Amino acid sequence: MRIIITSKRIEKKRTDRLKGTLMTCRIDNFNTQELTMDIDQEVESQNKLLDGMSLNMFDTSGMLSGTVQKINSMMARGGSTHMCYLVVFIIFAFLAIWYILRRKG
């Protein structure tokens, strides 16, 4: 008699676990579909962001190459005026930063 009661309990526990597992699988399947849709939307937004960044990088690289060409042509012309301009700019920048920091303190 005890063996029959124990086997019925075990069978009931297995049935309950199976029902719980089936419900979890249904919930997980629904959550998986939502998650997949969210991932798809996120990937699309990230691709748009990266496309915009690549355009900005292209514009920046063009601007930097133009600046480098101007510096090279200035250096090729020779003379010491470019060094004078550089020294004056550095002194002006140093004084401006020093004045701003002194005023805050």
**97 is a domain residue:** no
**95 is a domain residue:** no
What pLDDT is attached to residue 5? 58
Q: Can you give the residue range of the structural domain that contains 73?
A: 2-78
Instruction: Check: CB of residue 74 under 8 Å from CB of residue 82.
Output: yes
**33 is a domain residue:** yes
**20 is a domain residue:** yes
Is pLDDT at 90 greater than 80 in this prediction?
A: yes
**96 is a domain residue:** no
pLDDT digits (tens, 9 = 90+) for 9-54: 767 777 767 666 656 666 556 667 777 788 788 888 888 888 877 7
- Distance, in Å, from the CA atom of 96 to the CA atom of 42, rounded to the nearest integer, reads 45
Is pLDDT at 61 greater than 80 in this prediction?
A: no
Whether pTM > 0.85 for this model: the answer is no
**98 is a domain residue:** no
**104 is a domain residue:** no
- The predicted model gives 69-88 an average pLDDT of 79
Instruction: Check: CB of residue 82 under 8 Å from CB of residue 75.
Output: yes
Q: Looking at residue 1, what DSSP letter applies?
A: -
Q: What are phi and psi of 79, to 5 degrees?
A: 90, 170
Residue 12's closest CA among 2, 24, 20? 20
**Structural domain tally of the chain?**
1
pLDDT digits (tens, 9 = 90+) for 31-41: 677 777 887 88
